[in-house]
Structure 1
């Protein structure tokens, strides 16, 4: 599991909870003035995932207003960007005499060197969102360019924005498959996705380093594959066409990987089929239907590929998974 810290106000007496929350948020982001109508008995839960130089914090809490003021900026400035993504609820933002209301999956960027005010709320329910802290120095865009994005909303429901939201929500949902040493690598992926998203929004892709553009493209390709494993026409040729690159360039992108593009696609399909065969809820689903669900149109091809990967035919694997004693 990744290195992470967990904070719950419920672990403290009611009178101490909001002060505790103020301290934790200040350490996670930067010194802030916090206010809430629920301060007398505040409910909040935060996880901080350590991704090397980057920190990501999924949080669930009652309505809250936080301010980054000129006084606090003079007091301490970590020279970082904060990316806020509401998942349930909205952010009401005030900055430079402007006001805006942003809803779920609107991606917003804030600068620790500039004053702003944000109110997070979700009516009578708890607000839920994800914050990301990134040192300015490691984003691949100049400061004067990033100023154009300050406190603006980028749609996280389609395109590059959706790719970013999918990455962070999947990571926040389950870190059990990662080791602490994976944190910096995941941080690099996250920085590449953020850089690519911001550059695309600003029409400034040309300023990104070539390696950043390449890594972001590989991540888009992997995401495309994951979402289309059911399609029997998902081949290196169709993958390349969907990303407007040649098939030979696609193979070059995967040259440093442990397997070819086609082998990786086949392994992804087999892993999904393996999961379904071991799922008691799908015990009545015919094996050929599970195979077709993951892009195998010929049962014989699926059986041969499955036996090659797992050493037993799908039927035997299912029996052993569902009835281990027998």
Structure 2
């Protein structure tokens, strides 16, 4: 599991909750002036996931006003960008004389060195969202270019924004498949995605180093493959065509990976089939139907590939998973 910490105000006496939430936000993001009409018995929760150079924090809290003032900036400036994404509720944001409303699945970039005010609310319900903290030096774009993002609302429902949202929601929903050592690698992927998203919003793709563009493209390809494993026509040539690259370039992207693109697709399909074979809810579904569900058109090919990967036939694997090992006679 990734390194993470969790905080809930309900674990504290009511009188202490808002003050502890202020301290928590100061450590997570930067010192802020906070106010809420619910301060006497404040309800909030937050998880902080550590990705080495970046931190991601899914959170939910009662309506709240954040103010990052010039005085607080002079006192402490972590020199980082904060990416705020509401999931339920909205942010009313102001910089000087500029005001915008940020709704669910809209991505906003904030600068710890700039003053701003945010009013987060979701009626009487908890506001929920995801925050990301990234040191300024790590985003692969000129600072002068990034200044143009602070009044933009970037969609998290289409294009690279949707890919970023998929990445964040998958990570925050379940960290159990990952080891602490995966944190820095995932942090690199996150920063590459953020850089690509910012560059797209600013139309400055050429400012991103080629290696970052390649990693972002590889993430897009992996996401596409995961969504289309059921399609038996999912070949390297088809994948390359969808993404506007040559098949040879696709193979080049996978040279730094542990498997070739074809081997990785086969492994992903086998893993999905293996998972289905251990699911009691579909224990009556025929094995060949499960194989077809994950893109194997020939039962014999699936059986051979499964046995090579897991050391037993699909039938024996299902029996052992659902009923235990066969008795020795």
The answer to whether residue 110 in structure 2 is matched with residue 107 in structure 1 is no
The answer to whether residue 306 in structure 2 is matched with residue 315 in structure 1 is no
Give the structure-2-normalised TM-score.
Answer: 0.96
CA contact (8 A) 2:319 2:325 kept: no
Q: What is the match of residue 132 of structure 2? A: 132
Shift of 1:313: 1.5
Q: What is the match of residue 217 of structure 1? A: 217
Q: What is the match of residue 147 of structure 1? A: 147
Shift of 1:310: 1.1
CA contact (8 A) 2:14 2:40 kept: yes
Counterpart Cα distance in 2 of 1:128 and 1:280 = 34
Q: What is the match of residue 25 of structure 1? A: 25
Q: What is the match of residue 191 of structure 2? A: 191
Give the structure-1-normalised TM-score.
Answer: 0.97
Counterpart Cα distance in 2 of 1:154 and 1:276 = 37
Shift of 1:315: 1.4
Question: In terms of mean alpha carbon deviation, does 12-21 or 118-127 score higher?
Answer: 118-127
Residues 55-66 of structure 1 aligned to structure 2 (within 5 Å): 55-66=55-66
CA contact (8 A) 1:93 1:151 kept: no
Q: Where has structure 1 moved over 6 Å in runs of 4 or more?
A: none
Shift of 1:55: 0.9
Shift of 1:151: 4.0
Pairwise CA RMSD? 1.1
Name the SS for the 2:255 alignment partner: coil
- Unaligned runs of 5+ residues in structure 1 are none
- Unaligned runs of 5+ residues in structure 2 are none
Q: What is the match of residue 83 of structure 1? A: 83
Counterpart Cα distance in 2 of 1:200 and 1:9 = 38
Residues 1-326 of structure 1 aligned to structure 2 (within 5 Å): 1-324=1-324
CA contact (8 A) 2:86 2:105 kept: yes
Counterpart Cα distance in 2 of 1:305 and 1:96 = 62
Shift of 1:325: 5.9
Counterpart Cα distance in 2 of 1:318 and 1:125 = 45
Name the SS for the 1:119 alignment partner: strand
Number of residues of Structure 1 aligned to a counterpart in Structure 2: 326
Shift of 1:258: 1.7
